[in-house]
Each structure stands twice: as structure tokens, then as C-alpha cells.
Structure 1
């Protein structure tokens, strides 16, 4: 067990979205860290930082507190030496330390903790007159390495695209070739991008869905594997987000849980138009699930996407095969009549708890879906620790199917997976080696018909070793 002097407790607050909470950092004497509380409140109300990131910020501050008092012995530290303390803290995070019983973490995690602590120190310096934990220094661009120089000039160039006052940059510090940098700024080691296969075993997908006895769970799994949704996204769906078109295919609308447009009827004011945050607050006195505290059981994250209807902040599920859209529609009618219609009007969420006890009808949680998925996988002889055998493996299957079976171009796959960047799509666009070899054969056959003389010359080279 990790050795520590602090604890973090999430406490509900009245400010901000309904149901929101703030992580409180309690120090070794039981006193609340007022500075950490002010920092987390600032992020909650003004920076619109996600609850998960706010929690990570406070956890990082707590770890640094432990390191300072248990390793550095709480000794007075000069402003010049603070950067070296941060460096030793990062070393302890990255490589672990027996003194605090810390396990080693990835370098990126350690750097992120240093970044969070540095930002906290800067906040305290600006608002409370403290000495910054990570001193900043001014450097000339010419003194930076080539990579940093290139990033600097690229940022200046991009600024012209969005900043209407970009013409004034020349009179600023940046325009004069000066940059402000933290004294301790560790670099992340660059590693070659790897797009290794992480998909759920393709030949087991239909078996997984069919082996699941619950209609609700089959609906959820279809959205992951044949709709390409992330594990948390279905938990934001309202009952009204699922309709069926005249062809018998389900139409699933995925709106942003906070700002997605929504229409509803108020008993006193008639038809209302607003966003989902307003609807949840007015009708149910609830807040969006992505704004709940990190440890709240009903929390469901939201990563964001490129929207099909940007003005309404909503997208549609694109079915890999039409048959699955029609199968989903049939299961939807069954689920509504057998389960969902018996739920009291206490929330609008589509997926609910099916247990025959006091929890029946409560919104389905991420924890519920994880346990359900693991049980279904084990029915097929798969273990959750195997590569791809997890809920996100369904989204990887979606990208694999687009590439290897539908043979869709990368750009088309980007659109239907709602990625803002094509680089994100590449992670999922897994082309099977057999498909790649097949495409190569087709390409060579096409060349043989279009360029016969070229192919004849190639054959002569292969047999004689030289051209005539």
C-alpha cells in the first residue's frame, strides 16, 4: 500500500452543473488545502475542465505533497532549487520509489503530473503571491533547438488564421523573438507510432452478441461493434434518441450531453427548445452525466466528435451493415415494451438497470457494462486481459471492418467514425494482411492489362538478371 499523508474526497457543490462535485485535498493534519480547493474551483467554473482531469490535478498535488514531506523532509527550499525538487519528484514517479512504495508509471504520466503541479504553482503565484514552483525564464528563439524553433514559427503562422489582432504580434515579446519557458520542462520520448491490431476477435463478435441473454445488453453491444460507439457514449442516449425509419432501420441520434440541441414539452409553457443541460435541469433536476464527479457511480465520460449537424451538436450512428440496423430496431421495440416502459419518469436515459430490486430503472452505469462485457466474453472462453477483449475493442472492430471488409477509403472511415483528425482514424483503420495481399494481386493484374510491355520487361529482368 502506498505511503501517504493526504487524502482526496469528492464533495458535492451547489455551483456549476447539477450533481457536480469538487475533489477536496485533506492534508496530514486534517486541514483542507485552501489553495488546491481554489484551483479546482477555478477549473470547474471557468476553465470547463473535465471532472476526471480536475481529479487528476488534485491527485498530482497530493502526491507532490507526500514527496515533499516524506522524501524531502519538508525542508525550506529556495526558489532556484524548486525546479530540482520537481525533477526528483518526476524521477520518483517515473521509476518508482521504495520510500513511498510508489510503483513506476509511464513517462507521459510523470510529465503530466509535473505539468499539473507547475500550473498549480503558477496559479498560486498569480493569485496569492507565492513563489512559482517551476520558475519561468525568457529565452531567444535562436537559443532553442531546431524542433522547438520550428514549432514556435509554425504557431506564429497558424495564429494568422484565427487571431484578428495577429498583425500586432510583431510588437509583442513573441514578435521580438523571445519565449517564456519553464525552467524544468521534461520532454516526452518520441516513439514510432504503432497501429497494432487491438480489435476484438472478429470471428467472435456475433457469438458474443448472441450469447448475451439480455435484450438491453445486445442493444448495447451492437452499438459498440456495429455502430462504432465508445463504451460511455450509449449511456448518454435518451429514449427519444432512438427512432425507426420506414425501412425498419433504427436511427440513433447522439447529441452532446451538455450543448446538444433538444426539444421537449413543458406542461405550463408548451413546446420548449434548448439544450440537453437545460432539459435535464428543468425536467428532472439532473446534470449531464459527463459533468458528474469522477467517482460518481452514474458518471459517463464524453470525448467529443466531429458532428454530422454541427449547429445542433449531434451525430448519427452509421451501421456497418444495414441488417444490424434492422436487427437493432426489432430489439429496440422488444426492450421498450418489456423493460423501458416500466421505468418511472425520473430520468430520460435509454439504458437502465434491469435488476428486480430497488435499483430497477436507474440509469445503467459504466461499471454495469464492464461486468456484463466480461461475463459475455468468458462465455466464449475469452479472458478480459487478452488484447482486444474489452468494450473499446468493439470500436477497433468497427475500423477493422471498414478497412478489411468494406474496403472504405480512410477519409470515408474518418467521417463515419466522427473523428475530427484523420490521425485518430488511423489507429482504428486496421487493414488485414490477407486483404492487403489481395489488393496487391488485383493491382498487378490491372497493370498487366494496362501496361503489358512494362510487365514483359519485368519478366525478362527476373529471368536474365539484366535488360537487353
Structure 2
């Protein structure tokens, strides 16, 4: 057992993985132990790399890291189903004694909220299920198996998990069971349902000031920051989505040439722009954006790389009208499309002076390396500074982070009486339920509806009383 306070010798790092004789490499997070890469987890990620995001892999790697830390601090429990039970309970309760503050394990875990704990447990459930189905050593543990001690540890735990799962009941349900796809009589610890007094929307009364004053420093205007913020606030995009935009994805709208038609294509399956091939005197066609990025730029889609260039792609309902998979910008109000195009032309004047080794629209314009892909982290910091310049506090609760703009877009659509199905389309959701966090009424709206309902009820009662008096 490790001494109290000594670090557990495991960590998560970025890696490029080659699985065959081709030149294709996959970027993944891997868990490193003193014996090297934790291979069971690597196998799991490689098996799911085609349909799960890097963000999902990072969360699973974090869950496995926590579980390994717990294993190291509790080696005597590894052969008993109580290991799983106790681990999940420590996520909820923390590892310190409430009265004394002591933690003999040295883990120093603070209590998690139900949502975070449930995600960790569900991630491990699915991982152990995968090992049981795909690694025979985990399905039927073999003490003579000659893997590393850490791989063996994980496989043994997966074996114990499958053997004792019936005893784990409410504490260890798979993600499918949590979602209600498969049922158990007892569920994981329920989350406390809450009603917020106000959805975390960016305050509309400050938005124009944010654009005109927040993104201005002296005589310099950050057109790039204005454009990204408008895509979030005026067209409802998620924060990561504008970072997949190519310069060729913005054009005058044929139905109103003063307004911008913006199509943010799927990072890998979207249609690629054509490029001129001087050697044959014609345009070169690419199969999709992945093919284009690899052949023309030696790059991979941004949702498949780790580090500063990473930009997630959550998915949802794509459109195909222009023979591609994409999200279209639905400007609300429509005037914003015209303002966007005018700012876009200003930005292109700056972009024309940059040397780029990629096709992405948003780049470093004032700091080295000039022309390098602009990162989400850089934008988040620039947005925070812009918010502070206009005298607002940066806070998720107040809606003054980038994601607050998507909430503001959804709230405007609701207040304008836009039907739910249209809101789903405009916000690129795959289902009507997905829009509910963005369209829920504020506490003030709820009180107003209650007051209006009371007025209607009083009018009905008064009408009924007058009819009764007419009988006298």
C-alpha cells in the first residue's frame, strides 16, 4: 500500500496510436502506469473511436484514473464486490472523516454531486462490460495470464464486476439502464431536480454594447470575436461549432444578397470545397472534408485531434439541401445576417494579410503565430475580457460565458412564439426534448403567467356571479 499522501503513479496523456501498416494514426487519451500504457482502456478507445468523441474518452479516462487510485489505496478489497460499492459511495461522500477531517487513504476526495458521480460510475460500467465481452481474460480470469500487472488488475476487476453485478443493484447500473433502456427495480442514486429562477442567458440589453465596446481596444476592433459571438447569439450555434468553419462556408444569401448564408459543415463527412489543380488545369474534387484536410493540408478534422486545435462536434440534426451534412445559420432577427456579412468582409481584409497552413476561417490575427488556427480557449478568454470591459461579471449563472448566447437565442425564439419543432430545427437538436434547457421559462415569466391566469380566473368567476344574480 502506498504511504499516505504519496502520489498514485498513474496519469492521463495524449498519444498518437498506429494500429496497422498504414500511415493512419489516431489521437487518443491514454492512461500511463509504471508498466506503460493501460492496454485494456486503449483497446476500448480504439474500438469506439469511430463513434465517440475525444471529450467522451477524456471523461472515461478520468473515471478509470479515479478507480485505479482507489484500487491502489484499497488493495485488500479488490477481490470483493464491496470494492465497487464502496468506490461509488466515496464519490458521493468524499474520503475524509467529517468530524476529524482525517483521510487515512490519502485520496483527499471531496463529495461529488449526483450528476458527476453517476457519470463516472456509468462510464466504468460500460468499460467493464466491454472488457467482459471482448477480452476473454476478463470474462474468465486466468491467474497465469502474462500481461502487465496494471492490465491484469483491470481485467481482474472487470471479471469481479461481471460476477458480482447482480449484487451491486442500484449502485452500479449501466448507462443504458440509467437511460431507462433496460430496467432494474432499484435505480442509481437519484439526482435532485431543480428549477432555476432564470436560464443562464446572456442579457439582451447588453449584447449590442458587447459587440461595439467589448471587442474594441483603443482603435483596434476584434472582428473575429464579434463574428464568433454573433454565430452563438444570433444563430444559436454551440461554442465549438464556429471553429470548424472554412472561409468558403460564408457567402451572400441568394435570397438576400445583403445577408450572410453560413453553413458549418460536418467536420469529416461534410462536402469539401473544390481546389484548382494547376497541373491538369481543372478543379480537384475531394470525397469529403476529411479527404480534403488530409490531401490538401495534411490535417485531420479538429474534433479528432487533441490539444489547442481541438474543437468538439456534439452532433444533432444535420441538413443536406446543398449535398452535404451541415448546420445552417438561422439568423434571429434576420437583420443580424446583414450585419454579420458586413463584419465578415472587414475580417477578410485582415485575413488576406495572413499566411495560413489550413483552411479554417478564424485565426490568430494579433499574436504569434499569425494565421494559426484560433482556439476555443483563446476565444473564451477574449470573450471574458470583452464582458468585463462593459462592466459585467463573467459568470455561468449570469449567462455571461459564451454558452449563455445559445440560451439567449432559444429564449428569444420562445418569446416570439416560434413553434417547438421549428426551434428544434433552428438550434440543430436531434429531438424536441433537447431544447428544453434552452427554452424553459424564467421565474419572472412563470410569475407573470400565474398572474395572468389568476386574472382570467377572476374574470370567469365574476361572469358566473353576474349570471347567478340575473336569476334573482
TM-score using structure 2 length: 0.77
Give how far 1:34 is off. Answer: 2.5
Cα contact 1:223–1:229 (8 A) shared by 2:
yes
Equivalence for 1:61: 64
Would you say 1:458 and 2:448 are equivalent positions? no
Give how far 1:329 is off. Answer: 0.7
Would you say 1:414 and 2:420 are equivalent positions? no
Give how far 1:129 is off. Answer: 1.4
Report the CA distance shift for 1:456/1:443 in structure 2 as closer, same or farther (over 3 A). closer
Report the CA distance shift for 1:271/1:133 in structure 2 as closer, same or farther (over 3 A). same
Give how far 1:273 is off. Answer: 4.2
Equivalence for 2:161: 134
Give how far 1:344 is off. Answer: 2.1
Report the CA distance shift for 1:3/1:439 in structure 2 as closer, same or farther (over 3 A). same
Give how far 1:277 is off. Answer: 0.8
Cα contact 1:93–1:102 (8 A) shared by 2:
yes
Cα contact 1:3–1:101 (8 A) shared by 2:
no
1:258-277 equivalences in 2 (<5 Å): 258-265=268-275, 267=277, 268=279, 270-277=283-290
5+ residue gaps, structure 1, are: 156-178, 449-453
Distance 2:467 2:8 in 1: 73
Equivalence for 1:429: 439
Would you say 1:22 and 2:28 are equivalent positions? yes
Give how far 1:20 is off. Answer: 3.8
Distance 2:7 2:82 in 1: 22
Q: Give the counterpart of 2:131 among 109, 124, 128.
A: 124
Q: Give the counterpart of 1:111 among 107, 112, 118.
A: 118
Q: Per the alignment, in what secondary structure is the counterpart of residue 261 of structure 2?
A: strand
Residue by residue over 1:384-407, the C-alpha shift from the partner in whole angstroms, topping out at 9 and shown as x without a partner, is: 135211000000111111122x23
Give how far 1:190 is off. Answer: 4.9
Equivalence for 1:206: 208
Cα contact 1:17–1:287 (8 A) shared by 2:
no
Give how far 1:371 is off. Answer: 0.4
Equivalence for 2:249: 241
Q: Per the alignment, in what secondary structure is the counterpart of residue 238 of structure 2?
A: coil
TM-score using structure 1 length: 0.78
Give how far 1:19 is off. Answer: 7.1
Distance 2:469 2:82 in 1: 64
Q: Give the counterpart of 1:36 among 41, 46, 54.
A: 41
Distance 1:381 1:19 in 2: 47
Would you say 1:12 and 2:19 are equivalent positions? no
Distance 1:466 1:108 in 2: 60
Report the CA distance shift for 1:361/1:138 in structure 2 as closer, same or farther (over 3 A). closer
Residue by residue over 1:160-183, the C-alpha shift from the partner in whole angstroms, topping out at 9 and shown as x without a partner, is: xxxxxxxxxxxxxxxxxxx898x9
Equivalence for 1:169: none
Q: How many residues align?
A: 415
5+ residue gaps, structure 2, are: 97-105, 142-158, 217-221
Cα contact 2:94–2:111 (8 A) shared by 1:
yes
More off after superposition, 301-310 vs 394-403: 301-310
Q: Give the counterpart of 1:332 among 340, 344, 363.
A: 344
Give how far 1:77 is off. Answer: 3.7
More off after superposition, 188-197 vs 414-423: 188-197
Give how far 1:424 is off. Answer: 1.7
Would you say 1:397 and 2:408 are equivalent positions? yes
Equivalence for 1:250: 260
Q: Per the alignment, in what secondary structure is the counterpart of residue 23 of structure 1?
A: strand
Residue by residue over 1:135-155, the C-alpha shift from the partner in whole angstroms, topping out at 9 and shown as x without a partner, is: 26899xxx99xxx9xx99x96
Equivalence for 1:166: none
Distance 2:9 2:400 in 1: 38
State the superposition RMSD in angstroms.
3.7
Cα contact 1:249–1:326 (8 A) shared by 2:
yes
Cα contact 1:67–1:89 (8 A) shared by 2:
yes
Distance 2:428 2:305 in 1: 24
